[in-house]
Amino acid sequence: MDDKFKLSETQQNRLSELGADVEQTPVFSTSGERDKYFQETEKRLSRENKEHLLDLLNNKHKPELCALEYTLSDALCKIGFTQVTTPIIISDKFLERMTIDGSHPLSEQVFRVDKNKCLRPMLAPNLYSVSKDLLKITSGKPLRIFEIGSCFRRETEGRSHLKEFTMLNLVEWGLPENERSEHLKQFGKAVLSAAGIDEYDMISENSVVYGEGLDFVGRDGLELASTSMGPHPLDARWGINSTWVGIGFGLERLLMYRENSRGIHRFSKSIAFLDGARLNVK
Ligand code: ATP
Ligand code: MG
């Protein structure tokens, strides 16, 4: 069928940003039919997005991303984790200690701030640093901490990647070595079910920083979280000698998966979307 009776690229983009699945759009026998379909769909979706925003302003008040952060923080504090909050701007030295130097694959994804600083692409370096100090005062007892905060990676933004995203990274130190896998499963389940996610798998995956580990993935193969465990060769660089397990989740990924959405952007920190709804609607 002739191309001109499909939605134009501009029309597709507009419907897509309003939340339509444009791959499911019919093909039209006249341009008039096509434009009529576009106008009606645009109007209906704009109204739905507007209603969502008005409900947020009048009733709900807290966007899902903020609500999720709160819910997960609460769930982790209830099982003995302590929340920490650390700077977004970190020194190159911290990344180098994670083996991320100029030749590392992740280094190209790092946003530079000035000569010796960058926006953190992960929470792990700061968590290592804080943990080293806390472990000195906990007399060898298990220590559980986590942080939730923005991380930055120069990604080609696909449907599941953002340049700025919200990471939840938890770590438990000092647990018995033979309980590490069990704890990873337990903590993963605690976070995912608090996020409203019950269907997922654990599969083996290779990390560019930690090597072999397990990932939590959705039923469509979407990576929800990566895990790692120690003792690990990196620990000595941070002056730490302990067993540990850690998991990093992307909060926008959790929302995208839970809401069965085709794209992550509507759940991101954004000036185009708020709480999953498109902002420029009338
Ligand atoms: P992917 O393979 O999907 O690019 P990754 O293995 O590079 O992810 P990790 O370093 O394991 O990511 O980060 C832990 C979690 O943070 C991921 O499982 C994912 O949920 C989330 N995440 C990582 N990068 C992004 C991104 N660019 N945008 C949104 N979420 C991300
Ligand atoms: Mg990963």
CB 195 less than 6 A from any atom of ligand 1? no
List Cα–Cα distances, 37 to 3, 31, 85, 124, in angstroms: 16, 10, 49, 49
Query: Which residue lies with its CA nearest to atom 7 of ligand 1?
Result: 207
The percent of residues above 90 in pLDDT, for the chain, comes to 84
148: nearest Cα among 175, 127, 133: 127
Beta bridge partner(s), residue 201: 217
DSSP 110: P
Q: Which domains does the chain have, with CATH numbers?
A: 9-61 (1.10.287), 64-267 (3.30.930.10)
Q: How many helices (H) and strands (E) does the chain have?
A: 7, 12
Check the CA dihedral 75-82-143-225 and report its sign.
positive
CB 165 less than 6 A from any atom of ligand 1? yes
Check: pTM over 0.85? Answer yes or no: yes
Query: Which residue lies with its CA nearest to atom 16 of ligand 1?
Result: 250
Rounded CA separation 53/153 (Å) = 29
CB 257 less than 6 A from any atom of ligand 1? no
Higher pLDDT: 13 or 23? It is 13
Mean pLDDT of 254-260: 95
Q: What is the mean pLDDT of the chain?
A: 94
Rounded CA separation 243/188 (Å) = 18
With a cut of 80, say whether residue 1 has pLDDT above it: no
Which is the closest atom of ligand 1 to the Cα of 163?
27
126: nearest Cα among 97, 103, 163: 97
CB 188 less than 6 A from any atom of ligand 1? no
Task: Return the structure tokens found at 279.
Answer: 């902002």
